[in-house]
Amino acid sequence: MISLANLARPFARERMERQAPAFLLAAAIMIYAVTALSLGLTRFLTPEAAISILNRSIALGMTAAGQTFAILVASIDLSVAHLISASAVLASVIMNGEPSMIIPAILASMTLGVVVGTLNGLLITKLEVNPLIATLGMSLVIQGCLASFYTSFSGRVPSEFQFFAYGEVSGLPFSLLVLIALVLLAWLLLRFTRFGSNIYSVGGNRDTARAAGIKTARVVVAAHIICSLCAALAGLYLASRLKSGSPWIGSEGAYDLESIAVVVIGGTVLSGGRGGIWGTTAGVVIFSLIDSIFNLAGIDAFAKQVMRGIIIVAAVAFYAVRSKRMVA
Amino acid sequence: MTEKTVEMTEASLFPGKRRLPQVNPVYFVLAALLCAIALSNPNFLEPPGYLNFLKRAAPLAILAAGQIYVIVSGGFDLSVGSVITLTVVGSSMLLDNNDDATWWVILVMFAIGAAVGLINGLVVSYLRVPSLIATLGMMITLNGAAFMWSSGSPRGYLPDTFRFFGRYNIKGMPLIQFLPVALIVLVVVGIALFWLMHRTNLGRLLHAIGDNPRAAQMSGVPVERIRIFAFVISSLSGVTAGILLGGFAGVSTDVGTGYELQAITATVIGGAQLLGGRGSVPASIAGALTLAAIFTLLNFIGLPKPTRDVVQGLILIVAVVLATYRRNRAGGR
């Protein structure tokens, strides 16, 4: 029964899965270009326009880069949105307009990220709580703690720190460079380190990974710490961009669900073990392109939302439909 | 590991020495919470006290009873909150303050709900999109649709004939003075869903595909159809909850926000296993009542809303930790 053709088919399917994000990205770019051309808006086809499109989803990109790690180990993180708010508020309150407090503020945000990530990871590995529930609970706790202290814009970001969101280095926005560096770092980590391959093994099959001598719990906790750190970084960026910390910035942007949607559109499988950072990057760009296309075409905000929902499902269906895997 | 094996052999060697039939701990928790409420507020023991409590908890309980169908079959339904919003906003738009239209508007809403569930189920079953993403997309879409339908500013009024289900109390009942219609709806829906899940073949098939979809498929279970059915039930429960909520909440575009997570929380408190194979309708309803009781209690104690969020988060985690502990100790999977 085992013929070469039978053996080859799963690989072909997997290749398809890997290339799907590139297809989707190409399609999105083409639709964008066609829309711009047909409306005679050629000024939206310049490199500057491309940068401004990318610049629109820096926070989503950072969050999604971290979410990729969580989903790769077959986990998920729903607490990122409120963590983003908490990090933004914490940083901006500590800074409070003082340039000298920038470093302590950044450190405090990062510490918060490490603490939340560690707690998430320990809940999931040691107490065996379903990741969805663990991070949802964590999300409620963070939101509650934050809302009992801060109900509106708090603190002030000194102009030096606003460089993060508004500064430019040789014509490129600084924040975009940070995001690119983050993506490259994530790629190096996933592709070339033992930790990276451990992530794929643990996500693929936790029991097998454990049997192979990988300390699976540590890998999952580390993935969650990375995820939370990225969210904390996104919070810093948003604080810098709004010049103050807003306790609802994360939930308003729906960064929890959006980052998951982006990662999945990028071809990372929710059941873990397959996918990667480049797919996520493609997913983020696809998302900002979709937004830009709607803006070009002048579609109203509500219809935009409706189409967005349909597009998320359609994009995932685009390659999921071929898989013979059972989904739930 | 070894301990577990020993335990299992012991149980099989001495069937007479098995543990007492296990009662889902959610019922004890619920009872304890109700006692606590009664202690902190004696009015709760009067019929108006507990009947109003049940009335307010009815939408969430119905939602949880529907959600458990999807959870048991191994998925999630994140779209129910937006189904509630669409029901409330859509009814107010369709009714347009016209009392006579109530019945057909309710029928239209159930039809929309069935269509939503059907689409969710088809997308999950045939397009193989994970239910988390499929219903998330549906949630975004429906919220947008509710906005579009009402052009962003829904009219703040529903006629009394529509609000009858959520708001009206049947007066002059013996013993309990009055009986909220919402409670009757809850009991009817609860019994129907209980019967369907625990007394029919369909319910067994639901459990089977949630436990092991591959095995279920190989033994001839029509996995796709059953799964679609689960999503339809969940959406219909969303419409029912929406009609009740329309009775006591105002018309706005965020009536349903957060209900999907509360419903999932309720089923989890009721001991359901996420990703399928385990769960019960009465326990989910008890879970919803537990959640409502916790909120009521925190309200009595006078904790502000943010603190309530923290408590809800902690309870959610603790409930799952305990469930996992129990399952591990019992040697289940």
Q: A265: distance to nearest CA of chain B, Å?
A: 10
Q: Which of A305, A239, A282 is nearest to A54 (CA)?
A: A282
In a domain, B235, yes or no: yes
d(Cα B210, Cα B223) in Å, to the nearest integer? 10
Report the residue from A145, A146, A305 with minimal CB separation from B140. Answer: A305
User: Which residues in chain A touch residue B153, judged by CB atoms under 8 angstroms apart?
Assistant: none
Residue with token string 């129990």: B326
Q: How many domains does chain A have?
A: 1
Residues of chain A neighbouring B254 (CB-CB closer than 8 A) = none
* Eight-state DSSP code of residue A324: -
Q: Walk along chain B (333 residues) in steps of 10 and give the mean pLDDT of each run.
A: 45 51 81 89 83 90 95 92 92 81 89 96 90 89 89 74 80 76 92 93 91 89 93 96 86 84 88 83 94 86 81 83 76 51
Q: Is residue A2 part of a domain?
A: no
Q: Is residue A3 part of a domain?
A: no
**With left for phi above 0 and alpha for psi between -120 and 50, is residue A172 left, alpha or beta?**
beta
**Assigned token pair, B47:** 């019929």
**At a CB cut-off of 8 Å and minimum separation 6, what does A128 contact?**
B321, B324, B328
What residue has token string 């603490």? A115
Identify the band that residue A96 occupies on the pLDDT scale cut at 50, 70 and 90: confident
Partner-chain contact B310 A145, CB within 8 Å: yes
pLDDT at A4 > cutoff 80? no
Torsion of CA B33, B37, B39, B41, to 10 degrees: 180
Instruction: Scan for tokens 């529907």, then name that residue.
Output: B66
Q: Which of B259, B294, B310, B315 to mutate to test the interface with A (most CBs of A within 10 A)?
A: B310
- Give the closest of A307, A313, A326 to B213, CB-based: A326
Q: How far apart are CA B189 and CA B8, in angstroms?
A: 38
Does residue A126 form part of some domain?
yes
Cα–Cα dist A158/A76, whole Å = 34
Q: 3-class SS at B178?
A: strand
Residue A151 structure tokens: 């109900």
| φ and ψ at residue B261, rounded to 5 degrees | -70, -35
For residue A295, the one-letter residue type is N
- β-partners of residue B180 are B169
Q: Which residues contact A152 (CB under 8 A, 6 or more apart)?
A: A246, A247
Q: B82: closest CA among B327, B255, B299, B284?
A: B255
Give how many domains chain B has, as a whole number.
1
Residue B41 placed within a domain = yes
CA distance readout (Å), B38 to A109, B41, B65, B269 = 43, 5, 26, 21
Determine, for residues B128 and A134 on separate chains, whether the beta-carbon distance falls below 8 Å: no
Six-digit token pair at A306? 């409706």
* Residue B13 domain flag: no
Cβ-contact B170, B153 below 8 angstroms:
no
Beta partners for residue B170, in sequence order: B179
A8 touches chain B (CB under 8 A): no
Whether B77 maps to a domain, the answer reads yes
Nearest to A305 among B134, B143, B311 (CB): B143
Look at A136 and B261 and tell me if their CB atoms are within 8 Å: yes
CB-CB contact of B183 with B58 (8 Å): yes
Question: What separation in angstroms does the CA of A245 have from each of A112, A114, A142, A157?
Answer: 15, 20, 15, 8
Strand partners, B178: B171
Output the pLDDT for position B5. Answer: 45
d(CA B138, CA B229): 17
Q: Do A312 and B324 touch (CB under 8 A)?
A: no
Interchain contact A20–B (C-beta under 8 A): no
Instruction: Assess if residue B263 is contained within a domain.
Output: yes
Give phi and psi for B275, each to the nearest 5. 75, 10
The gap between the terminal CA atoms of chain B, to the nearest Å, is 12
- Does residue A63 fall inside a structural domain? yes
Best mutation site among A206, A291, A306 for testing chain B: the one with the most B CBs within 10 Å? A306
* Minimum CA–CA partner of B267 in chain A: A133
CATH number for the domain including B118?
A: 1.10.3470
pLDDT in tens, A15-33: 666 677 888 888 888 888 8
Asked if residues B254 and B85 have their Cβ atoms less than 8 Å apart, the reply is yes
Query: What is the distance in angstroms between the Cα of B226 and the nearest Cα belonging to chain A?
Result: 12
The percent helix, strand, coil of chain A (3-state, each to 5) is: 75, 0, 25
The alpha carbon of residue A325 is apart from the nearest alpha carbon of chain B, in Å, by 8
Taking CB atoms and an 8 Å cutoff, what residues of chain B touch A128?
321, 324, 328
- Which amino acid is residue A181, in one-letter code? A
Interface size A-B, in CB pairs within 8 Å, comes to: 162
Residue A307 lies in a domain: yes
Q: Which of B144, B317, B321 is facing A306, going by the closest CB pair?
A: B144
Taking phi over 0 as left and psi of -120 to 50 as alpha, with beta for the rest, B302 belongs to: left
Q: How far is the C-alpha of B109 from the C-alpha of B97, rounded, in Å? A: 16
Q: Is the pLDDT score of A179 beyond 90?
A: yes
How does DSSP assign A193-244, residue by residue? SHHHHHHHHHHH-HHHHHHTT--HHHHHHHHHHHHHHHHHHHHHHHHHHHTS
The tokens describing A195, both together, are 């930790």
> Is A7 inside any structural domain?
no
Do B129 and A316 count as a contact with CB atoms less than 8 A apart?
Answer: yes
List CB contacts of B119: < 8 A, sequence separation 6 or more: B138
Contact yes or no for A134 and B320 at CB 8 A:
yes
DSSP B212-263: -HHHHHHTT--HHHHHHHHHHHHHHHHHHHHHHHHHHSPP-TTTTTTHHHHH
Cα nearest neighbour of B77 on chain A: A328
Q: What is the mean pLDDT of residues A114-134?
A: 91
Tallying the residues shown for chain A, one arrives at: 328
- Residue A327 sits at the chain B interface (C-beta within 8 Å): yes
Confidence of residue A246 (pLDDT cuts 50, 70, 90): confident
- CA–CA separation, A168 and A151 (whole Å): 32
CA distance A106 to A232: 9
Rounded CA-CA distance A111/A49 in Å is: 36
Out of B144, B147, B324, closest to residue A128 by CB = B324
Contact residues on chain A for B276, CB-CB shorter than 8 A: 328
Cross-chain Cβ contact A261/B142 below 8 Å: no
Q: Which of A146, A304, A316 is closest, CB to CB, to B133?
A: A316
Alpha-carbon distance B136 to A164, whole Å? 32
Q: Which residues span the domain enclosing B66? A: 24-330
Of A305, A313, A323, the CB nearest to B134: A313
Judged by a CB distance cut-off of 8 A, whether residue A137 touches chain B is yes
Instruction: Evaluate whether B141 touches B81 at the Cβ level (below 8 Å).
Output: no
Are A309 and B75 inside 8 Å of each other by CB?
no
CB spacing of A129 vs B317 below 8 angstroms: yes
Is residue A306 less than 8 Å (CB to CB) from chain B?
Answer: yes
Tallying the residues shown for chain B, one arrives at 333
- Six-digit token string for B286: 């008890």
Write the single-letter amino acid at B294: I
Nearest residue of chain A to residue B137 (CA atoms): A309
Q: Domain residues for A312?
A: 16-320
**CB of B169 closer than 8 Å to CB of B181:** yes
What tokens does A181 get? 């560096």
Cross-chain Cβ contact B137/A310 below 8 Å: yes
Beta strand pairing status for A172-173 and A168-169? antiparallel
Most A CBs within 10 A among B73, B131, B133, hence the mutation to make, goes to: B133
In a domain, A206, yes or no: yes
- Put simply, whether A211 touches B (Cβ < 8 Å) is no
For residue A10, tell me if it sits in a domain.
no
Spatial neighbors of B288 by CB under 8 A, at least 6 apart, are B57, B60, B61, B63, B64, B65, B262, B263, B266, B270
CA distance A149 to A144: 9
Of A139, A147, A261, the CB nearest to B133: A261
**CB pair distance less than 8 Å for B324 and A260:** no
Is the CB of A270 less than 8 angstroms away from the CB of B75?
no
3-state helix, strand, coil in chain B (%, to 5): 75, 5, 20
Helix axes A216-242 and A174-192, enclosed angle (nearest 10)? 170
CATH number at residue A191: 1.10.3470
